[in-house]
Amino acid sequence: MSGMSPRQWRGPLAMRRRPASVVLGMVIVGIIGMSLAATGAWGAAGGYARPELLAETDWLTQHLNDPGIRIVDMRSEGAYRKEHIPGAVNLDWKALKDADNEWHVIPPEKFAELMGQQGIGTDTTVVAYDDQGGLGPARLWWVLDYYGHRTAKVLNGGWNKWVKENHPVTTEVSTPSLTQFSVNIEPQKICLVEELLGEMKRPNVVIVDARSPAEYSGFDVRAKRGGHIPGTLNIDWVRNVTNDDLKTFKPAAELRKMYEAAGVTPDKEVIVHCHTGVRAAHTVFTLTLLGYNQLRNYDGSWQEWGNRPDLPIAR
């Protein structure tokens, strides 16, 4: 015990004086907490402001036959046909961009048709997954949210966690019946380039670049020009999920600390971009999960900004 002060030693002494039932209860709580942290389920149990946006694998297992749920597999078609979650349909995230103008989101009438073809109606709960940390599913969630559909979830850990836990899989291709999907555009969820030029000058606005540091610095050039939008903060979207095979969302406290330390606080209006608006959607989803309310996706992102010589850049 050398080097330990009396103040430090008071904790264990105080613990000894507690009733045995209280001590046992504290031990049980500690064990549960460690178990939740180890399985990646801690955020759903307590921490996220909107935990309903995440679907845990155990929950989905219990709702596989729920007629009000449509599961969407956003991996490649080849991976889907090899094996997928029972009842899932396959959807490529690229279908969520405008085929006639890739800088923009899929138009409302085409999106309504696409959702109807997938058996997704106005009241359907959508649960999407992939094997990339929720990148495609978050994009689907954002487009659904932009078009006024609130009942959508991202499967936490996605396909990787589902398979590791030995949940059921199938090779049967799902063919859902056509249904009606209505859209209700919410323009405050998106940011156009003309708007961004004005927002850059406002002190209560923070712009987050969700690309990699190499893209942000201009080392990795994926448009006519490399670099970043002046004044933006670089927080790579991969930092939202764990750095392991499961790629579950990090605990709420860890995510809040990361964003708030960078100056991305809930009192500010947050505009997020990446290269095509997909990684940005993942960050918008993450911040929504944390309870942020003033969020917009600059959907044209660097694919638009970096290809327009009239717009300012920094390196």
Instruction: Compute the distance between CA of residue 200 and CA of residue 73 in angstroms, rounded to an integer.
Output: 37
Q: How far is CA 278 from CA 103, 179, 251, 285, in A?
A: 11, 26, 22, 11
Q: Do 261 and 206 meet the contact criterion of CB atoms below 8 Å apart? A: no
* HSE-CB of 145 using CA atoms within 13 angstroms: 22
Nearest Cα to Cα of residue 103 among 309, 311, 308: 308
3-state helix, strand, coil in the chain (%, to 5): 40, 15, 45
* Residues in contact with 189: Cβ distance below 8 Å, sequence separation at least 6, in sequence order: 142, 145, 146, 295, 296, 297
Q: Do 272 and 208 meet the contact criterion of CB atoms below 8 Å apart? A: yes
State CA 145 to chain mean position distance: 13
Does 191 participate in catalysis according to the annotation?
no
Amino acid at 244: D
* Residues in contact with 53: Cβ distance below 8 Å, sequence separation at least 6, in sequence order: 141, 152, 153, 154, 285, 288, 289
- Residue-wise DSSP of 193-255: HHHHHHHTT-TTEEEEE-S-HHHHHTSS--SSS-SB-TT-EE--GGGGB-SSSS-PBPPHHHH
Instruction: Compute the distance between CA of residue 121 and CA of residue 70 in angstroms, rounded to an integer.
Output: 9
Residues in the chain: 315
Q: Which of 96, 274, 281, 290 is catalytic?
A: 274
Which residues have a catalytic role annotated? 274
